[in-house]
Amino acid sequence: AFASCIDEWERAGRRGDAQVAFPVNLQDYMMHFILGKASERNLTFQFHTGLQEGNGNIVTNSDPALLTNLFMKYPDVDFDVFHIGYPFQHVVSALCKNFPNVFIDMCWAHIISPAAVRDALSDYLDAVPYNKISAFGGDYCFIDGVYGHLRLARENVSKVLSDKVDEGIFSEDKALEIAKALFYENPFRIFKLQGKL
């Protein structure tokens, strides 16, 4: 069965088809196998959630709430949830609040909708410990996108933190501490990079 799946995948690639649906039992087997390896090796597992690149995808299939069973089954695996799950960004907040092994990754989200990202980050800072949020990252294949996205990310985070300071929620010193954590300290810790760089 696996060989026929691979054959179909190769044929689809030659035809230029974007997607091939592997049987669910194969998908489940591979997911649990890989998560088992992530657990053994103490690796953080990244999930692409929310909008997918391109058009014509079933958006509800990328709802991060669909991952709840994995968060529960693998409590020793840290899960980095990509793209704030947009348009399910508030679901991501609830998941992150409920599971100590779930972390919010704002990668690529700043370009999708700067307004939605600012709203989400404001909510995250109210609802979730800020040490569970990474403000920037990317799964780009070109450098211009990384640079542009970083500029947007810095602008969005600074606006949200500035609003929190104006509202009296954070001091300026605390806002600077949070910014450093969101852009540097949190990703460094979440991806267990100590001694690896």
3-class state of residue 6 by DSSP: helix
DSSP 85: G
Strongest mean pLDDT among 15-24, 25-34, 177-186: 177-186
User: Is pLDDT at 26 greater than 90 in this prediction?
Assistant: no
Strongest mean pLDDT among 1-10, 121-130, 135-144: 121-130
pLDDT value of residue 58:
85
Structure tokens at 86: 């947009």
Length of the chain: 197
pLDDT value of residue 153:
98
3-class state of residue 79 by DSSP: strand
pLDDT value of residue 18:
58
H/E element holding 46?
Answer: strand 45-47
Structure tokens at 103: 């972390």
The whole-chain average pLDDT of the chain stands at: 92
H/E element holding 146?
Answer: helix 143-166
Q: Does the domain formed by 42-190 have CATH 3.60.40.10?
A: no
**Mean pLDDT for the stretch of residues 109-115:** 94
pLDDT digits (tens, 9 = 90+) for 70-98: 999 999 999 999 999 999 999 999 999 99
Q: Rounded CA gap, 110 and 190, in Å?
A: 20
Q: Rounded CA gap, 85 and 76, in Å?
A: 22
Ranges 57-61, 63-67, 127-131, 192-196: which has the least confidence: 57-61
User: Is pLDDT at 159 greater than 70 in this prediction?
Assistant: yes
β-partners of residue 46 are 80
User: Where are the chain's structural domains?
Assistant: 1-37, 42-190
**Sheet (strand 45-47) strand order:** 45-47, 79-81, 102-105, 133-134
**Mean pLDDT for the stretch of residues 100-129:** 97
pLDDT value of residue 137:
87
Confidence grade of residue 182 (pLDDT, cut at 50, 70, 90): very high
What angle (nearest 5°) sits at the alpha carbon of residue 109, between those of residues 105 and 113? Answer: 150
Structure tokens at 187: 């990703």
Q: What is the largest CA-CA distance in the chain?
A: 61
Residue linked to tokens 């996205």: 149
Q: Rounded CA gap, 68 and 88, in Å?
A: 14
